[in-house]
Structure 1
Amino acid sequence: MSEYKSFVQRIGLVGISNLLISLSALIFIPIITKNFSIGDYGIWAQVNTTIALIPNIANLGLPYTMVRFLSAENDKTKIKESFYSMLAIVFASSLLISIILIIFQNPIANALFDGNIQVLYIVSIISFFACMNLMIISFFRTFQQIKRYSLFLILQSYVGLMLSAYLVLTGYNIETVVLGLLTGYLVVFIVMVLLIGNYLGFDIPKFKNLKEELNFAIPTIPSNISSWIVDSSDKYVIGIFLGSAAVGYYAPSYAIGSILLMFLSPFAVMLPAVLPKYFEKGDLNKVNEFLKYSMKYFLLITIPGGFGLSILSKPILMIISTNEIAMNGYLITPFVCLGAIFMGIYGIINNILILEKKTKILGKLWIFVAILNVILNIFAVPYIGIIGAAIATLISYIFAFIITTVHSKRYLKLPFEYKSILKIIIASVIMGIFLLYMKPVGIIAILIVILIAVVIYFGVLFILQGINKEEFNFLKKMIG
């Protein structure tokens, strides 16, 4: 039971961290939307989209490779050799991409930032540190130093956003506000380098095991880039066809729906670090148990969360943005919520293929899904607007879920409990009917209605025995 207790506690820690990070982004939305034009907010959204993309390319799949290859390693010499070799490769590729951004500054700035060259320069610097930080922070994830991992994620988010918020409120322009983001990445980079240097010491990379590591990592690059394309390229397509203002309408609603993905993050962080130990020992029952409970608790939260966020999207947007954004964007949220649930299910199931080292399947899948998503966006956005982008993303996630499920069931039992899922859906529908009837307006009313809705959901679930006594006691022992 101790390993389950440790697993759940770490899941909870990462979950709280991601909640805080998600809240920081949501808190910043009203600050920037109420002080800048929708076009400037669209530029801000494109900045964050770009910073999310570049590490998926520059890191060459090596952060995830480090987790897979080093999580069970105890020899500090081997750890040092592999870590610094991978870090050197990431340094070179990150620097190269930043230089490419500057070389092609005019077309990139025109396409993404309404021709703002200064923003592009700042983004190229932030992107370099974002790439390095992702690689370095994965060190703490690999060796399950989850407190440090969580702390650095929070600091990276809050230091930059707090300074950016100050710059917005004191009247600085969008270029200076974007520059504020750099501080968070830079501060965290310096602290992490000092900590790891103190623990491992510094060494010159020898690249001894790099071939094997790259053989695992390279096939994940298409998956990483393609999953970003599905998740974020819609903002680029909207910007190209409809302009930055349309991105400004789309991004807040998308951010609300994407809240559900923060509940995947703890499992995405912990499962790849925990499962290989049992898989390598041949303890498939333990692997199945971790996957089953992960799926159960993910759906237990995200299905009712999807109903709630979809129904309350408009009043929430009225609070955190402007009436104009709320009226133009609230219908986006239901599609994003449903897509996030399918993406979360995929994110748990794909651990089966990763354990079997079938990363090529995931790479090919996401290449196809990315192409499908771009085609759907190009055809849908010009004709039905930003809703077309949301529908395209949903279709893409459903397709990825189906294909991954088909392949994964060849190797391990799928972690679904269909009766339990049905009970969760029924309880969520009843809760949703209550929310539709109440139609709350204002932050106090929304919070009260949410609290009552949560009680209704768990009350109905308890009556339906959606969580049995064994599961309740299991979770209680793990947590307490």
Structure 2
Amino acid sequence: MISFKKFLKDIGISGVAHISNTGKNIILLPVLTKTLGAEPYGIWAQMLVTVTILMPLALLQLEYSMTRFLSAEKNQKKLRKGVYSIIIAMMISAVAFSLFIFIFANPIASSLFGGIKNTIFVQITALILFLTTLDQIIFRYFISFDQIKKYSMLLLSQNIFEIIIVSFTVLNGYGLLGAFLSLVLIRLGIFLIGVPIIKSQVSITTPSFSLLKHYIKFSLPLIPFNLSMMIMSSGDRYIIGYYLDPSAVGIYSASYILGSVLSFLYAPISTVFFPTITRLFENKDDAMQKYLTFTFKLFLMIGLPALFGIAVLSKQLLSILTTSIFVGSFIIVSIIAIGDLFFNLSNMFSNILMLFKKNNLIAFSYIISAIINITLNIYLVSLIGIIGAALSSVITYIILFSIISFFSFREIKFEWDPLFIVKCIISSSIMALVIYYLGLSGLMGILFSILLGIGIYFGFLILLKGISKNEYYLIKNIVSKKR
């Protein structure tokens, strides 16, 4: 039986690492935009989007097979064979994808990176893709085998060093090239640290092609699933770049970072969620439905106030973190945040469907949604610009959530309380109104508004009895005691 206390503590530990990830994006945003400008930042954003889209393909989605089939495996020989079969397959795939980007750097730069003059950045992107994929293999190993502390320490270290070294190179005149090479150095370092740790736990052995065939059969439908997911979350940058210019990509990307705050909040939950429910499912533990109910409630409890909060603070945040050219896009932040809520809920329900090996159904749902997203983006971006991309996202994610949640509840039902959601919305609305009418600006004003908002939200949620006594004491116990 996996305890709720450990489940929440693991979420908290990984949450610290993911806070650093969001902190990195927020800190580097003004460093890059104010020092380099909108067009270079647009190239930086295209690099990140390219890596984000292609990395899941390079992994062959075998990280899901590692979690689904090996996280509860007791046979050590099969475990060793399985781990190294997956790792070697993913490494070979990463080499192939990176070489493709490097070889076709000129046409990619011409169509997506602002011209052939930026070919060097595409070539470095190929190297960043390769190293990022290797790092992700290491991260997924630690996540699959319940080593959240090691995962969190590596991710935290990566983010801290990226903040320091990228900021140093840019602020000292090394420009965008210095920022790109900084990522290469840091991600190589993470790989060199992670490999010896894995070798000390699972001795190297030859891969098993029969096991790999079984794992690929499971993961293959997840390739179009994850590609579709990346297209929906990142593909709009390419369409903006095609119809508009790199500056528009940079402006939209800055707003997207702030609007994706809910993904940041869901990331530590998702890190722990799928491995946990997999072990419960494999062990036929009756507590699984309670974990599903608790996780759904936990995400909405923190996601809804974040949505309202980012809506009222978006303009002030953009004015602090960027230049005046970015501030006019503040409305996009709110639209993106709404879509992000449904996007992350869709991913949660997709994990549930994976337990029942409904990967073809997941892939079909995401492919249909990606087609809708691309169609809407092409039409709306060409018609009304970057706000059209934001509207395309929110419409698509609502459709996707409707499909995925419907099929998920057909496989397994768990309790969800509509009244609790209403209480969260009421508490969030009161919080947002107070922050709005206070109208505080500046860094300290925003920090005070956030802290005040947290107090108001949870105060009203407790008054409305949105949190039970058992949940209150569980959280209090976790915060006040060490593991």
The TM-score by the shorter chain falls in which range?
Answer: over 0.9
Cα deviation, residue 477, structure 1: 4.2
Correspondence 1:232-271 to 2 at 5 A: 232-271=234-273
Q: Is the 8 A contact 1:258 1:337 kept in 2?
A: yes
Three-state SS of the structure 2 residue aligned to 1:204 is coil
Aligned sequence identity (%): 35
Match of 2:460 in 1: 460
Three-state SS of the structure 2 residue aligned to 1:35 is helix
Match of 1:56 in 2: 56
Alignment of 1:379 onto 2:371: no
- Tell me how far apart the structure 2 counterparts of residues 161 and 445 of structure 1 sit (CA, whole Å): 24
Match of 1:326 in 2: 327
Three-state SS of the structure 2 residue aligned to 1:109 is helix
Match of 1:97 in 2: 97
Alignment of 1:4 onto 2:1: no
- Tell me how far apart the structure 2 counterparts of residues 301 and 273 of structure 1 sit (CA, whole Å): 21
- Tell me how far apart the structure 2 counterparts of residues 290 and 2 of structure 1 sit (CA, whole Å): 10
Amino acid at match of 1:304: P
Cα deviation, 1:276-314, whole Å, max 9, x if unaligned, reads 22222333x411111111111111111011111111001
Three-state SS of the structure 2 residue aligned to 1:17 is helix
Deviates more, 1:387-396 or 1:79-88: 79-88
Cα deviation, residue 150, structure 1: 0.9
Match of 1:290 in 2: 291
Q: Is the 8 A contact 2:290 2:414 kept in 1?
A: no
Match of 2:170 in 1: 168
Cα deviation, 1:45-89, whole Å, max 9, x if unaligned, reads 111111111111111110111011110013332222111111121
Cα deviation, residue 323, structure 1: 1.5
Cα deviation, residue 348, structure 1: 2.3
Cα distance change, pair 54–19 in 1 and its aligned pair in 2 (3 A)? same
Q: Is the 8 A contact 1:54 1:131 kept in 2?
A: no
Match of 1:142 among 141, 144, 157: 144
Three-state SS of the structure 1 residue aligned to 2:108 is helix
Cα deviation, 1:74-133, whole Å, max 9, x if unaligned, reads 333222211111112111211111111122211101122212011011100110111122
- Tell me how far apart the structure 2 counterparts of residues 238 and 162 of structure 1 sit (CA, whole Å): 30
Q: Is the 8 A contact 2:24 2:162 kept in 1?
A: no
Q: Is the 8 A contact 1:339 1:398 kept in 2?
A: yes
Cα deviation, residue 342, structure 1: 1.0
Root mean square deviation, CA, Å = 1.5
TM-score by length of 1: 0.97
Match of 2:215 in 1: 213
Cα deviation, residue 2, structure 1: 6.4
Amino acid at match of 2:275: A
Deviates more, 1:409-418 or 1:428-437: 409-418
Alignment of 1:335 onto 2:330: no
Match of 1:306 in 2: 307
Three-state SS of the structure 2 residue aligned to 1:410 is helix
Cα distance change, pair 95–2 in 1 and its aligned pair in 2 (3 A)? closer
Cα deviation, residue 321, structure 1: 0.7
Amino acid at match of 2:402: I
Match of 2:424 in 1: 424
Cα deviation, residue 161, structure 1: 3.6
Q: Is the 8 A contact 2:72 2:282 kept in 1?
A: no
Match of 1:434 in 2: 434
Match of 1:42 in 2: 42
- Tell me how far apart the structure 2 counterparts of residues 241 and 199 of structure 1 sit (CA, whole Å): 50
Three-state SS of the structure 2 residue aligned to 1:361 is helix
Match of 2:198 in 1: 196
Q: Is the 8 A contact 1:424 1:466 kept in 2?
A: yes
- Tell me how far apart the structure 2 counterparts of residues 341 and 221 of structure 1 sit (CA, whole Å): 23
Three-state SS of the structure 1 residue aligned to 2:327 is helix
Q: Is the 8 A contact 1:332 1:390 kept in 2?
A: yes
Cα distance change, pair 451–478 in 1 and its aligned pair in 2 (3 A)? closer
Match of 1:353 in 2: 353
- Tell me how far apart the structure 2 counterparts of residues 375 and 162 of structure 1 sit (CA, whole Å): 40
TM-score by length of 2: 0.96
Q: Is the 8 A contact 1:53 1:225 kept in 2?
A: yes
Cα distance change, pair 199–434 in 1 and its aligned pair in 2 (3 A)? same
Deviates more, 1:108-117 or 1:423-432: 108-117
Three-state SS of the structure 1 residue aligned to 2:406 is helix
Three-state SS of the structure 2 residue aligned to 1:34 is helix
Unpaired segments ≥5 residues, structure 2: none
Q: Is the 8 A contact 1:21 1:154 kept in 2?
A: yes
Q: Is the 8 A contact 2:19 2:264 kept in 1?
A: yes
Deviates more, 1:94-103 or 1:239-248: 94-103
Deviates more, 1:435-444 or 1:298-307: 435-444
